[in-house]
Amino acid sequence: MDWELLNIAWPIEDRPEHLRVKKNVRGRDIDSLVRFKREVAEVEEKKELGEAVFSRDAVLKKVKYKAKTDNGFKKLHPARVCRQPLAVPSEWYGKLVPRKREHIIRNFPLEHYGMAGQVSEKVLGKAHNRSVPLTFDQFSRTSLCDSGKSGKDPDLTLQQIQETAINYAVVLHALWPSDYSALVFLRVLVEAKWGDVAANDNRYHTYSNAG
């Protein structure tokens, strides 16, 4: 068995757990494994698109992790990539999500979000404490109030406001991945048809608490 060839034909993360271990596929021919892959794919397709859609949800199994260190940089614990809790937030949010981060780190990667340099280090520092009031304007790379007063084209200003809202959501995701308030914030703005209002009126209520 060519292990590398199998990994190309059937990525290891897509295989059943027992076939992710090299010794368990030793002695098997790749053709039979590829046929099995097709069978698995057919079963998965039925689960996603067939009658199983109307059946009960799956029950998550308990996961026991090996003790490992995590420094938030090069050593990351596998528990970091768990899905969000399935219980309602009132049952876990206050218990698990702290009010502030004890260690303030202002320099962390933002390029992959597409917003490098758009929010000041001072604001990033304040965002480590969820009890500190923050204004909508602080998440803009240019002052929204100044843009509104300058008589610029409203469409450009609308783009700035949209970018600012996304910047706030990005900072929250980076520092507080369990805090869903930015998504609620964006949904409220959409339901209020904020884009239509902003496109026709240069007066913005920018200094509301972003949190």
Residues 6+ apart with CB under 8 A from 194: 161
For the chain, the domain total comes to: 2
Q: What pLDDT does residue 194 have?
A: 78
Q: How many CB atoms lie within 10 A of CB 125?
A: 14
Domain assignment present for 46 = yes
pLDDT score for 207: 37
Residue 151 resides in a domain: yes
The reported pLDDT for the residue numbered 52 is 53
The helix/strand/coil state of 209 is strand
- In DSSP notation, 125-139 reads HHTTBTTS--BGGGG
Structural domain boundaries enclosing 49? 3-54
pLDDT in single tens digits along all 211 residues of the chain: 578 888 888 888 888 888 888 888 888 888 888 888 888 888 777 766 655 555 666 778 888 888 999 999 999 999 999 999 999 999 999 999 999 999 999 999 999 999 999 999 999 999 999 999 999 889 988 766 555 555 555 455 778 888 899 999 999 999 999 999 999 989 998 888 876 766 555 544 443 344 4
What is the pLDDT at residue 184?
92
How many alpha carbons lie under 13 Å from residue 57 in its C-beta half-sphere?
4
Specify if 94 maps to a domain: no
* 43 & 115 share domain: no
